[in-house]
Amino acid sequence: MSIGTRLFTWLRGEAVGADSLGNRYYRLRGGGSRRWVLYRGEPEASSVPPEWNAWLHHTVAEVPDAAHARPRPAWEKPHQPNLTGTSAAYRPPGAVEQGGRRAPATGDYEAWAPE
């Protein structure tokens, strides 16, 4: 985060909470409508949990807290960072980074040709 963001947060921000990943959430002191997050570590928008995302975008007025946390469905997976652009990103077979070789077409594809 930049020095400007830190300074603005120190001068005008009111801390309202933090999430399980260590991100801290703020709003303008004195009841202003501006809301923002200071990320723990690398800034990555996908690391904001759904309940905090709803608060940041003014979908809900109440600040999320542990006492009123929504129950997590059994199928919901834990957060994984977005690895696009890194060496750990998914690369399907045939991608240039995987050698550029892909399986040959199986004969079920027919190219479209205008009549």
Is residue 102 in a domain?
no
Whether 109 is in a domain gets the answer: no
Angstrom distance (rounded) from CA 32 to CA 13: 10
* Cut 0.85: pTM above it: no
78-112 tens-digit pLDDT: 877 788 888 888 888 888 877 777 777 777 778 89
Is residue 43 in a domain? yes
Which pLDDT score, from 0 to 100, does residue 38 have?
Answer: 95
Q: Does residue 99 sit within a domain?
A: no
Residue type, 13: G
Contact 33, 55 (CB under 8 A): no
pLDDT confidence tier of residue 67, bands split at 50, 70 and 90: low
Q: Which domain holds residue 26?
A: 1-62
> Residue 5: enclosing H or E segment and its boundaries?
helix 3-12
Cα separation, 47 vs 40, in Å, equals 10
* Distance in angstroms (rounded) separating the CA atoms of residues 43 and 107: 46
- Give the total number of structural domains in the chain: 1
Quickly tell me which residue has 């892909």 as its tokens: 102
Cα→Cα distances 65→26, 52, 70, 76, Å: 14, 9, 10, 19
Question: Is 100 a member of any domain?
Answer: no
**Range name among 20-24, 54-58, 66-70, 95-99 with the lowest pLDDT average:** 66-70
